[in-house]
Chain A
Amino acid sequence: MKSKSNITEPFLIRVFLIVIAIGFIGVFVALPVAVIFIEALAKGIGAYFNELNNDNAKAAIKLTVLVAAISVPCNMVFGLAASWAITKFEFFGKRLLITLIDLPFSVSPVIAGLIYVLLLGANSVMGKWLDAHNMQVIFAVPGLVIATIFVTFPFVARELIPLMEEQGTEEEEAAIMLGANGWQTFWNVTLPNIKWGLFYGVLLSNARAMGEFGAVSVISGHIEGVTNTLPLHVESLYNGYNFVGAFAVASLLTVLAVFTLILKMIIEYYYPHEIKAAR
């Protein structure tokens, strides 16, 4: 035991560091999460379910699920296509594409929402064209979907690019030499090799899609029961001094976050080699 203490920090320092880390997580993460549930249940379990069971809350849940259900598959296809293109062949503008994929991580979501309002709003060229064809994008569901796609598209691609880069092209070449066509090669060889990485990327993408506030806040117009997603609904309730309602809806998002976290841990534990971005 003595020899071990020679290469590690003294006992007190170790305890000190661990206490800081745990204390920090406790104050900034665990405590607020606990507060959410305490506040949500402040007026009893009946009031809690009442807040989740009214029309506006149900509409917000439906809308959030709808937006995620459209944007996540879109990003899955985009992520697969982009990482396939980037890792399996050379083309002009490849570096630029890799840089642009990271753009949503560096741009404030509010700015992203604003860009689409300016681009598709009533005063823009495209907005006028859309208006003339009787299509409502801004302050409607299509706008929410577009903004959500923008903020979530890096997740799948960022996860798959390093994974596919590492795996190389030999297995695909082997499949083609054995007579498989492009689809058979993708379905039987490429996809099984990346499925956990893909699932991981989709999971993170989904969590972000459902929890996104900034970009959708600008573009939604906050029409209760129509364009309010869950995070926007929380804001509306809170601004209306309905704390039980706000925290009850927030608790739903918290449950989603915890569920995502658990799934993420499971995948990272069982398939560490297929989750590159986690390292």
Chain B
Amino acid sequence: MSIQVKGISKQFGETHVLNNINLEVQSGELIALLGPSGSGKTTLLRIIAGMETADSGTIILDGNEAIKKKVGERHVGFVFQHYALFKHMTVFENVAFGLRVRPKDKRLSDAEIRQKVMKLLTLVHLDTFHDRYPSQLSGGQRQRVALARALAVEPTLLLLDEPFGALDAKVRKELRRWMRRLHDDIHITSIFVTHDQEEAMEVSDRVVVMSNGKIEQVGTPGEVYHQPVNSFVYDFLGNYNVFDGWRDEEGNAHLLEYEVKENDVSLVPPVTNKKGWMSRYPEITGLLQKIIPSVVPTPQPLVPQQTKPSPKRTIAGKPVKLFCRPHELFVVKTPDENEYIKATVLHLNPAGPLVKIEMERLSGEGLTAEVPKDVIDRLEIKKGDHIYVRPKNTRLFDE
């Protein structure tokens, strides 16, 4: 089933949950609605399902306006985050529910229902669990029952609200791969909501990135990851580093390195002196000190304090923020003729194929790099070392 979402807006009280949402989904696609909590993705899903009504706009399912149809007549399967299985029914009865509540003239015979339910339970690998109750199943099994139940009514559209959100990390990974394969087999148009970018990337054909009730970007996982249209999408899809820089007249971006000089300190008075009047009237204080030296504190010595770092290179163009991913940072121990940024290693996390290096720049800002293990070994990078980094690739956003 193809879906057209046209100008959907929704308000809860004063909050604009959805702001003029337009989206087209082709038949057979698997779409991820990705965004942080509060971005409106679940509300959009519930509006498409018909469980909520939009303040304005319309949903067109296969060329027909869905708003006029009753929820049960839309042929939409819905999978809830917390499964919403019927607690008092067995797995079999849960899956059979949608078939049993049909009007008499459209209802299948008991034998047909039985055959169909068992076929679906085989599909979700739960055929041997048909007489269990939901409370006797694990989270992953419950979610597969919920999926089988939604598929039993032969929906032309499957909506999943954070389907893996309540599962632990390992089960979640298994289940989402399985769901991708299942989708490749049955090709039902599906939309699922998630706040996990890895999940959206791994499972979907296209990703819809949402924030604050708007769609930020729609594209394939590759597109949104490699060509993010704004800093929000870039930020949401992974870790990153930010650098100050400038853009020259030809449009090339340059990094701005800050430097803190050894003697770059100024002397400031301590801020702890509560007896303000004493410092304001030095004549009286001086006089008092002569008379009763014990009660009047002697003036505190000035404290050296580091001033803000100053740019090492000059800006020759429009100042911009430059972004780069941790794996796009090139790390050396001794700088060559290229532009580098000096940093101190704070922490090394060697778990995984790439070693994570947490660093601090001279200016105090943090940096994160992801570097292959052999590079770390070759350069003999240790905690506390001074190293030099250079982004291999930077992005800037016109905002």
B60 to chain A, nearest CB (A): 19
Q: Which residues of A contact B149 (CB under 8 A)?
A: 174, 178
| Distance in Å: Cβ of B227 to nearest Cβ of chain A | 36
Query: Which residue of B is nearest A167, CB measured?
Result: B87
- Once the chains bind, are B76 and A177 in contact (CB under 8 Å)? yes
Report the stretch among B78-86, B109-117, B207-215, B305-313 that lies at the interface: B78-86
- Give complex CA distance A173, B146 in Å: 13
Report how far A50 CA is from B86 CA in the complex, Å: 53
Using C-beta atoms within 8 Å of the partner chain, give the interface range for chain B: 20 to 34
B contact residues around A170 at 8 Å (CB): 80, 82, 84
Determine which of A177, A179, A188, A192 lies in contact with B102 in the assembled complex, contact meaning CB atoms within 8 Å: A179
Chain A residues within 8 Å of B102, by CB: 179
How far does the Cβ of A270 sit from chain B's closest Cβ, in whole Å? Answer: 14
Is A177 a contact partner of B86 (Cβ separation < 8 A)? Answer: no
The 9 nearest A-B residue pairs measured at CB:
A178-B98, A170-B84, A179-B72, A180-B101, A174-B84, A192-B88, A177-B78, A184-B101, A171-B84
A199 to chain B: closest CB distance in Å? 14
Chain B positions within 8 Å of A176 at CB level:
51, 71-72
Q: Does B391 count as interface, using CB distance less than 8 angstroms?
A: no
Instruction: Report chain A residues within 8 Å CB of B51.
Output: 173, 176-177
Please report the number of residue pairs spanning A and B whose Cβ atoms sit closer than 8 angstroms. Answer: 60
Q: Smallest CB-CB separation from B78: which chain A residue?
A: A177
* Most B Cβ at <10 Å: residue of A170, A178, A180, A192: A178
Least Cβ–Cβ distance between B51 and chain A, in angstroms = 6
Interface size range on A against B = 10 to 19
A33 an interface residue at 8 Å Cβ cutoff?
Answer: no
CB distance from B101 to the nearest CB of A (A): 4
* B49 sits at the interface (CB 8 A): yes
List which B56-97 residues lie within 8 A (CB) of chain A.
71-73, 76-78, 80, 82, 84-88, 97
Cβ of B98: which chain A residues have Cβ within 8 Å of it? 178-180
Q: Is the CB of A177 within 8 A of B101?
A: no
**One of A180, A181, A193 near B97 (C-beta < 8 A):** A180
List 24 A–B pairs whose Cβ atoms lie within 8 Å, in order of A's numbering: A170-B80, A170-B82, A170-B84, A171-B84, A171-B86, A173-B80, A174-B78, A174-B80, A174-B85, A174-B86, A175-B86, A176-B72, A177-B49, A177-B51, A177-B71, A177-B72, A177-B78, A177-B150, A178-B72, A179-B101, A179-B153, A180-B97, A193-B87, A193-B88
What residues of chain B lie closer than 8 Å to A181, measured between beta carbons? 72, 101
| Separation of A180 and B100 alpha carbons in the complex (Å) | 9
Q: Which of chain A's residues have a CB closer than 8 A to the CB of B71?
A: 176-177
Q: CB distance A189 to B86 under 8 Å? A: yes
A65–B149 CA distance with the chains assembled, in angstroms: 46
- Complex CA–CA separation, A117 to B120 (angstroms): 64
